[in-house]
Structure 1
Amino acid sequence: MEKAKISASQLFALMVLFELGTSLLLPIAMDAKQDSWLAILLGTVFSFVLFLIYHKLYLYYPDILPTEYMQKILGKAMGTLLAFLYIFCFVHDVARVLRDIGEMLLTFAYPDTPLFIANALLILVIIYTVRQGIEVIARSGEIFFIIMYILAITGFILIVCSGLIDFSNLQPVLEEGIFPTLKVVFTQILYFPFGEAIVFTMILPYLKNPKKAKIAMICATGIAGINLTITMLINISVLGVGLTARSQFPLLSTIQSIQVADFLERLDVFFMIALVIGGFFKISVLFYAAVIGTANLFKVKSPSQLSYPIGLIILFMSLAISRNFQEHLHEGLGIEIFVLYIPLSTIIPPLLLLVAFLKNRKQQRE
C-alpha cells in the first residue's frame, strides 16, 4: 500500500460519484416498468446490509487490503485464487464502464470518431490520475462532487420549468403487485450499481478515521440511491415507460426535451459533463483497486509501474467485450450480474465474514 490517507468526506464524495457513474446513463430496473423508481429505492435500502458486511470485514482487518486478508481467512492458495478473481472483476468492470462512456461520447458528439480513439484518450487520462495516488483522486472527487450537484440541480429546475413532467406516466403504482418489483431488486439493482461498490473495501484501509467509515458508506449509498430514484422518476414522467425502456440513454433523451421560453434548449452538454465526471471517477476507483490489488498480491514494490500494462489490457478488453452496444447492455445487465456480481458482492463476503468471525472467536478463547 502507498502511504496515503483520505478523509471520511472524501470517501463519501467518491462513493456517491462512483455509484451514480454509469447508472445515470443506462435504463436500469426497467423490468419493473413504471415502478422502476421504487425498485431502485428498495435496492438502496437492502444494499445497506451489504455495506454493513463489508464494514465488519474491514473492522477485523483495518490495516490491510482484502487481497491480503482473504489469504489470512482462507489460507494461502484459496485466498490468492479468490483475490485474483476480484482483481479480474475490477479490470472487467473498468472495461465495461470505459465502453459505456466511449459509446456515449460517440453517440452524443463524435459519430465519426473510432471507438478505439475515444477509449484510448480517456484511459490515458485515467492512467495519469491513478499514478498520482488515492489522495489526488479523493481530493479531485470533492471538487467534482460540487460541480456534479450544481449541474444536477440546474437540470432539475429547467425540467420543472419546461413543464415536461407528467406524473400520470407513473401510474398505476404496483399494477402487478410488489413481487415483480422485488424480483428486479434482487436480480439487478442490488448488484448494479450498489454491489459494484465492494471495490471500496480496497479503499477503506486508507481512511484517516476508521470510526467514520460506516456512516460515510451508508450516507453515500443513501444519497446516491435517492438521486437515482429521482432521475428515474423524471425519466418516466417525461418520456413514459415505453420510450425510457427503448432509449439507449434515457437521461439524454429527457434533457434533449428541455425547452424554456423558446430559446433555452439543446442542453445535451449538461448530460455529457455529468456522465463524464461520474464515469471518470468510477473508472479511476476501479482501476486504482485493480492496480493496488495486483501489486499487493504479487508483491510489486511500486504499484504505479503496473498502471500502463493494466491500462492497455483494459483498453483492448473494452473493445473486444461485445460486438455492439445492444449486446454490451444485454451482457452487463443480465448474464454478468449472475456470473460475477451476485457471487462476488453478496455470496462470498458473508462467507468470509463468517470464517473471520469463527477464527477471531477461536483466537480470543485461546
Structure 2
Amino acid sequence: MERISSYQLFSMTVLFQVGTTIIFGFSSSAGRDAWISCLISTGIGVLTVSLYLFLMKSQPGLTLVEWFPAQFGRWIGTPIAWMYPLLFIYDAGRAMGDIKDLISVTILPLTPHFVIMIALLAVIAYALYGGIENLARIGGIWMPIMLFLYLIVVVLIAVSGIIDFRNIQPFVDKGWGNVMKAVWPLGITQTFGESIEFAMIWPLVKEEKKIVKYTLVATMTSGLLICSIDIFAILVLSEKYFSNSLYPIYTLVQQIEVSDFIENLDSISVILFLTTAFFKTGLHIFSAVYGMQKLLKTKSYKTFILPVTAAVAFLALTMARSVLEHFEAGLKILPYNLWVPLFYILPALLFIVVAIKRLKQVKQKNAHS
C-alpha cells in the first residue's frame, strides 16, 4: 500500500490550495479590499477543512467516496459518491484549460493548444503511473523552491521602488457587501472547499495522528501566502489594473526592474503557476482514478489513468470557446451549481448524520451503564 509522509502532505496541500491563484487575482472583484476578502475566506476555509477532518476522524480508514455509502447506505450513498470523481475530472480539465490559456497568451503564443495539453498531461500521467508517492516526493522537493522563488520576487518588488501604499487605501470604502461578495461563494470554494479532495489521500498518510495538525497549518500557510500576493499586486498595480487584468500576478512580475539590469522576470510567475497547476491537476486526476477504483472495487487505480487523462485533455480543449467564456463559467456557474452542493451541502448533511449516530451511541452506552 502506498504511503506518504506528514511533510509531503503539508507540501501537497499548500501547492494544491495555492493552485491557479498564484497567477489569478484571488477575490479580485473586491478591488483594493481583495486581501480582506482573502483573510475572511481563509478563516472560513480553516473551519471548512476542520469539518472535513472531523468526518475523516469519524470514519477512520475510509476515503471520501466511501463516506457516503457508509452513512447513507449503498443505494443512496453510492450515486452521491460517484459525483466526486466526475467533479475531479471536470476540475482537472478546467485547471488544464487555465494552463493552456495562460501559456498561449504569454510565453508560447504560436504553439497549438493540443501540443501544450499533450506535453503536460503526459508528464502528469507518467508521474501517476509511478504512484502517489512519486508525486508526493516531487511536492516535498518543490515546496521550499517555490517559497524561495516567491521570496526573491518579494525582495525585487521591494527594491524596485514600484510599491505605492496609497493604492490600498481607504479600506472597505465600498462597504462590507462588496468584500463578502468575493468571499461567498467563490472565495471559499475555489481553494478551500476543493480541499475535500484530500479526503482521498488522508488514509494514505503514514502518521495518522499528524494529519489534522499538518493539514490545518498548510491551509493557514496557503491562505496567508495568497493574501500576501493580493496585497503586493494591489500595491503595485492599483485597484483598477488588479481587478481588470486577466493575469494580475503575471502583470505584477513584469513591473520588476532593478537598475536596468534585473527585468523581464515574468517567466518566474509562469514557472510558479505551471508547478502549482501541475500538482493541482495531478491530484485531481489521482483522486478521480483512486475514487473509481474504490467504487468499482478493482485491483489498481492505474487502469483508469490513461482514459481519465484523455477525458481531461478533451474537456480542456472543448469546455470553452474563449478565455472569457472559461472565466465566466468559473465565476458564475460552477460555484453555485457544483462546488457549493458538493463541498458544503453534502458534507454538512453527512456531518448531521454522523452527529446523530454518535448521540444515539452515547445514549445507548449510558442506558446500559
TM-score by length of 2: 0.96
**Could you give the per-residue CA deviations for residues 64-87 of structure 1, whole angstroms, max 9, x where no partner exists?**
212122101111121111111111
AA aligned to 2:218 is A
Listed as ranges, the matches of 1:96-115 within 5 Å are 96-115=94-113
Distance in 1 (alpha carbons) for counterparts of 2:193 and 2:142: 23
The secondary structure found in structure 2 opposite 1:265 is: coil
Which of 62, 65, 69 aligns to 2:63? It is 65
Match of 1:235 in 2: 233
**Could you give the per-residue CA deviations for residues 43-99 of structure 1, whole angstroms, max 9, x where no partner exists?**
001111111110111011221212122101111121111111111111111000011
Are 1:314 and 2:312 matched, yes or no?
yes
Match of 1:173 in 2: 171
Distance in 1 (alpha carbons) for counterparts of 2:8 and 2:236: 34
Match of 2:212 in 1: 214
Are 1:25 and 2:23 matched, yes or no?
yes
Distance in 1 (alpha carbons) for counterparts of 2:301 and 2:190: 28
Match of 1:164 in 2: 162
AA aligned to 2:343 is S
AA aligned to 2:135 is I
Match of 2:83 in 1: 85
Match of 2:131 in 1: 133
Q: Which runs of 4+ in 1 moved over 4 A?
A: none
**Could you give the per-residue CA deviations for residues 102-157 of structure 1, whole angstroms, max 9, x where no partner exists?**
11111221111111110111111101111111111111101000110111000110
RMSD: 1.2
Which of 115, 119, 122 aligns to 1:117? It is 115
Are 1:52 and 2:56 matched, yes or no?
no
Distance in 1 (alpha carbons) for counterparts of 2:186 and 2:356: 31
Match of 1:323 in 2: 321
AA aligned to 2:204 is Y
The secondary structure found in structure 1 opposite 2:189 is: coil
AA aligned to 1:64 is L
CA contact (8 A) 2:31 2:242 kept: no
AA aligned to 2:192 is F
Q: Percent identity?
A: 32
Match of 1:269 in 2: 267
The secondary structure found in structure 1 opposite 2:342 is: helix
Distance in 2 (alpha carbons) for counterparts of 1:277 and 1:188: 23
Deviation at 1:7, TM superposition (A): 1.6
Distance in 1 (alpha carbons) for counterparts of 2:59 and 2:204: 12
Match of 1:293 in 2: 291
| Greater mean deviation of Cα atoms: 356-365 or 225-234 | 356-365
Distance in 2 (alpha carbons) for counterparts of 1:111 and 1:184: 31
AA aligned to 1:178 is W
Match of 1:281 in 2: 279
| Greater mean deviation of Cα atoms: 221-230 or 174-183 | 174-183
Distance in 1 (alpha carbons) for counterparts of 2:239 and 2:216: 30
Match of 1:253 in 2: 251
Distance in 1 (alpha carbons) for counterparts of 2:135 and 2:356: 36
The secondary structure found in structure 1 opposite 2:221 is: helix
Which of 296, 302, 305 aligns to 1:304? It is 302
Task: Flag structure 2 segments of 5+ consecutive residues without an equivalent.
Answer: none
The secondary structure found in structure 2 opposite 1:301 is: coil
Distance in 1 (alpha carbons) for counterparts of 2:39 and 2:353: 31
Distance in 1 (alpha carbons) for counterparts of 2:347 and 2:24: 27
TM-score by length of 1: 0.97
AA aligned to 1:307 is I
Which of 4, 26, 43 aligns to 2:2? It is 4
